[in-house]
Structures are given as C-alpha cells and as structure tokens.
Structure 1
C-alpha cells in the first residue's frame, strides 16, 4: 500500500495533492506553509516510486497513477474531496475526476500535462529522457527560466534524493501517452487551469484541446512564473487555487 507523504489541516474541505514528473511531493513545500489549514485538509501523495513510496514499482500508466491516488483517498476514508495537481499530476487530477466523478468536488490543475497526451517525435522524446543527467538545467530551468538559483539547487537535490532513472523513464512514458481527453465530458465539476506566464511548454495553445473538452473550466495566468509557480510564486499560486476550491459547488 502506498503511503501519504503528509496530511495537514483540520478543515472540512478535503484536498488530495499530486506532484509532477521531476519531483516528489516536496515540490509543494514552499506553498504548504501558506495554505489555509482551518478551511482545508490537505493530503500530499507521492506516486509509486517517488519519495515515501520510493521502494514501490512505478505505476504502469496514468490510469494506474489515478487509481493509486484514489486508493490514497480511500485510506483516509474520504468519500468526497477536491484534487490539486501539478504538470503530470495535473493531468492525473483530471483523470481521478473522470474515474470518480461523484466523489470529486473540484479540480485545480497547475501547469497540467494534456489529458490527450503529448506526442513527441523521437528526438524530442530522447531529449526529455536524457534530461535525467541534469534535470535542474534541462527541465526545471528550461521550463522556469526565471526561477531563483536557490530554488533550482534545492529542487535538483530533491530530485536526486527521491527518485531514480527507472522512475524518471517510466513516468515520462505515462504522461506523454495519456489518452482520456474524450472522457473529460464525464466530469461536470469545476476545473481551474493555472498556467505560468513564462512557461514555454504549458501555454494556452497547449491547453486548448483540454479547454475544449471540459464541461466547466476556468483558465488563469500566474504572473512572473514558469512551469513551477508553486515554487516561484507560492503566495499567488496558493491564493488562486484556494479561491477556486472555496467556490466549488459540488
């Protein structure tokens, strides 16, 4: 059974939090200190192979990742909850909602990967895969060009401490091959899509197919941030996601 990395807060609104590809749930550390723990209860989940679940085999697909996240909510006895996810975890958050639409109050997807997958040609895929040699420069810095040097160093150290190359390769295959875009129509709850103003990868154009497939959505830009706004602009990012959660109607 996969463990939760942390559960914080006493609020009645329960929130499952999912990380992205290059980092475990430690990517949320800067924002965790700013959350409203009186209104919300946050559960931070590490996908199999990451962080506290590093000894587990990686999930075989994005569907399996969503199933593992749902099992984590089950372990807490949560019958109803919202989901916040970053990048790969943002796509997974939407998959959780399509797999359990009656349980998910709302979704906040921060710079999310596409539910329709991200087709890469052989050279581009090899570039992403080989970025394991230097993820700080080739992934984090490339996608968040304005990130502070201290944050870049810390994220790089966290990467090496919480995952290995087998996990890196497995989850690259998972998020690039996601294939549930047509199922987004099955979830009619609110979905907040947040993107970084300086993110060269997850842009409004990249998100256009996701937006078109969602019954309910809101798109917001986070100023002065790239692909890691919860690190670069934690206060504004938390403010936006908690405002979205607070107004969810389900």
Structure 2
C-alpha cells in the first residue's frame, strides 16, 4: 500500500475547507503572495505539494492528474475532512475539476473517488479537461522546459503577455527549477497536456468557477468560455484585466476577493459574499 502523504500546510481554522493545488511551474509556494490576506476565520486553506515538487520532489510517480486526485482524497481522509473545495492553478485546474454529487454518476477525477464530498471548484487559469495538445515548435518549447531555463522563461513571459519585468521572470524561473524534479516535470506535461477527459465532467452539477487573466493568450477567457462554461452546468467565469497566467503574483488581492466571494456563495457556513454578486465579464462573473 502506498503510504505517501502529500506535503502540506494549514492556514486558518474556518469551517469551509479548501485545498490549493499548484501548477506545472511551482510547488505550494505558488500561493505565497495571497496567504497573508486570506480569510482564515471563514476558511481553512491547505496548499499541497504534488508528487515531483517541493517537499515531494523525490516522491515516486505516476505523475498524473488522476494520481493527484487519489492523493488529495487520501489527504482529506487523513485530515478528517468529509467535504471540501479545491482551487487549482493551471495544471492544478485539471486536478480540481469535479463531478455530480450523486454516486450513480461518478464523473470527474475527484468525485469519482469521493462522490458528494466536493463543494466547489475554482480553476485559476485552469488547463481544461480536454488537455492542451502541443506540437511543432510549441511542443518542443514545452518539452524543453524540463531541462532548459530559457524555455521556462519564454513560456512564463508569453503567458503573462510579455509585460512583466525581467527580474520577476528570472526569479520565477529560479524558483521553478529549484522546486521541481526535472523527470517528474516532464512526465507531468504528458498528463496535463495530453489527456482528454472532458466527456467525464460534462454536465457536472458542482459549482465551478474559472478565473482567467486577460493577458494570458494560452488559457484566455475565450478558451474558458469554450471549455469550462460549456461543460459545467453551474460554470462561471471571471476575467481579470490586469493578470496573465499567474494571478496569485500579478493581482493577488483581486484574486482573493473573487475566490472567497465564490466560496462563500453556497451560504452553508452562515456567510455571504462581501460584494453583490455581479454577473458581468471583466470584473464580475459570466
């Protein structure tokens, strides 16, 4: 039996429990910029390190979104969480996608394992459940990123609209290289880019929010409209005008407000959104 436990940390002691899953380029420190300003009275946030990253850099594979879902459910059991929400950034969005809460239709990666336990899903620039097929020069760039810092930098620069300072790009590359295992990094690419399980999530009843940066040409608001909003029956979209692919670093306060308003919206913990739930793109929800 696999005794591996996802490395993690707890922030807050609120009744609404929330896993935070990082993307391809980072470990759980991807959420460092938002941690100081989270509502720790209403929520308990648990950022995790997936296999191949951070404190789990030496963990054995497989390095797949499906295995990550198994690991998350195992951690929820260990923490005594009967239900929880999940935030997933980029690759982590493919881990977070959900399914109907009825055991008779076990779609999706997480609720196929634990039907009825997933409260809400949030994808921050999430990779769609259809994957992101890569070929030609683009495929070579992403494949090369496992071993070449210049390729990682080019990807980060492109997905933030070419607008970020050189020193920030360099820092992001250094952190990414230090906090990920090169072999696992490459294997993860095969999973999040190559797997298509969108038919398993289509029709999901779990409320699902996609947060997309308007400066991100790869996972743009338009991509979210074609994927996220068409698959999830209660799918919603917020477009952040000042963000690219890394909203946690680029627009942390705006991201926190959007995320926590959505988490509060089920009203099950006696809380309500701070703002009047706007339903307009580019500052609200579509």
Q: Sort the TM-score into its range (normalised by shorter chain).
A: over 0.9
Greater CA deviation, 213-222 or 2-11? 2-11
Distance 1:245 1:96, change over 3 A: farther
| Contact 1:146–1:225 (CA under 8 A) maintained in structure 2 | no
CA distance in 1, matches of 2:115, 2:166: 40
Aligned to 2:84: 81
Equivalent residue runs for 1:1-250 within 5 Å: 1-94=4-97, 95-99=108-112, 100-132=114-146, 133-134=148-149, 135-144=151-160, 145-185=162-202, 187-207=204-224, 208-248=226-266
Give ranges in structure 1 of 5+ residues lacking alignment.
none
3-state DSSP class of the match of 2:9?
strand
| Contact 1:98–1:187 (CA under 8 A) maintained in structure 2 | no
C-alpha RMSD of the superposition: 1.8
Normalising by the residue count of structure 1, what TM-score does the alignment of the two structures yield? 0.93
CA distance in 2, matches of 1:147, 1:98: 38
The structural deviation recorded for 1:136 is 4.6
Looking at secondary structure, tell me which structure has more helix per residue: 1
**Aligned positions, number:** 250
CA distance in 2, matches of 1:218, 1:66: 22
Deviations, residues 60-98 of structure 1 (Å, cap 9, x unaligned): 432112111222222211110000010000111004444
Q: Which has the higher contact order (CA 8 A, sep 6+)?
A: 1
The structural deviation recorded for 1:14 is 0.2
Deviations, residues 128-184 of structure 1 (Å, cap 9, x unaligned): 111231255222122113334453333222112211220210111110122221111
The structural deviation recorded for 1:122 is 4.2
Normalising by the residue count of structure 2, what TM-score does the alignment of the two structures yield? 0.82
The structural deviation recorded for 1:121 is 1.9
The structural deviation recorded for 1:204 is 2.9
| Contact 1:2–1:48 (CA under 8 A) maintained in structure 2 | no
3-state DSSP class of the match of 2:8?
strand
3-state DSSP class of the match of 1:17?
strand
| Contact 1:97–1:187 (CA under 8 A) maintained in structure 2 | no
